[in-house]
Amino acid sequence: MPAPQLKIFRVLWGIEAQFSGDINVLFAELHRLGYTGIEASLSDIARLSNNDSNVFQQALHDHKLELIGTVVTSFYPSEPDVWHDLSIDEHLANLEKQLNELIQFKPIHVNIQGGQDSWSTKQKEEYFEKALEIQAKFPQITSSHETHRSRALYNPFVTADMVNRFPTLRLTADYSHFPVVCERLLQHPTDDERFRLFASRVDHIHARVGSTQHAQVDDPRESKEESEQMQKWWEMVWNEQKNRKWITLTPEYGPVPYARTSEINVWELTNREMERQKENYEKWAATIQE
């Protein structure tokens, strides 16, 4: 059986400073480089299209790009870059509103950065129980919850608890956050058991190599141990997804403060990771076809 198609997406995080803020120039270059599509939130879409959804949809069509949407349930319109202690109901209202608005763009999947780390286990359970009910209202799109610092799934232990509690909870694997939170590379056999559990629930990967001190290394080629550990986890996911039609991955490298200095060329770093993952995927695909 042939391996699934690997679809690689590009986030729009800081993209204007990295390359261009002209949507058609940018999308044409992403298509030329070999990206399948882009991963974008509603605020990304509004920013690049000057608040014209038709411009965005036409640019996707013209440059043959697909879309993975992003929901951020902590979004607070008047102060989008400030953390707010929102209630569970406020997070859930944001989730439903943003899913409803994203539908018009026909995303192939939606990534959800949801909840907050300050909640108790009981509060997290209430949030995910109701979030899954909201997701079920949108059967035309699949969606998954991202493992991310400051969100509900901010460490591997909470994530394992929630995955075990909710059989239909699906994940976006941004594993770069876990070693930072735990201050270790999570290489114990009990850690392997958790990551095998996660792999069975992952729908989308954010392929960024992190370390025990930073969620983003300067260059994966120079961080061998971290790169090999992350690749091991990503290939656990691929093994679980080998019977799918396609597999999605976003090499999600960002500007300062994720990049440790402004001298790091995030545009080139991200494009190199795309090519590195294509090569790694080809090697993995060969093993399942033997």
Sequence-separated (6 or more) residues with CB below 8 Å from residue 81: none
Q: Per residue in 101-124, pLDDT tens?
A: 999 999 999 999 999 999 999 999
SS3 130: helix
Share of the chain above pLDDT 70, in %: 98
Q: Name the band, by pLDDT with cuts 50, 70 and 90, for residue 289.
A: confident
Identify which of 42, 33, 43, 44 has the alpha carbon closest to the alpha carbon of residue 9.
33
- What are the Cα distances from residue 204, in Å, to 31, 55, 79, 262? 20, 27, 29, 29
Structure tokens at 39: 């991963």
Mean pLDDT for the stretch of residues 67-89: 83
pLDDT at residue 288 above 90?
no
Q: Per residue in 161-194, pLDDT tens?
A: 999 999 999 999 999 999 999 999 999 999 999 9
Mean pLDDT for the stretch of residues 20-49: 96
pLDDT at residue 79 above 90?
no
Mean pLDDT for the stretch of residues 237-261: 95
pTM: 0.95
CA separation for the pair 151, 74 (Å, rounded): 9
Single-letter amino acid, residue 132: L
User: Architecture of 5-288 per CATH?
Assistant: Alpha-Beta Barrel (3.20)
pLDDT at 78: 55
Identify which of 235, 241, 215, 239 has the alpha carbon closest to the alpha carbon of residue 280.
235
Average pLDDT, the chain: 95
Mean pLDDT for the stretch of residues 147-166: 97
Q: Per residue in 192-201, pLDDT tens?
A: 999 999 999 9
Q: Per-residue b/e over 213-252, b at no fewer than 16 CB within 10 Å?
A: ebbbbbebeebeebbebbbebbbbbbebbeeeeebbbbbb
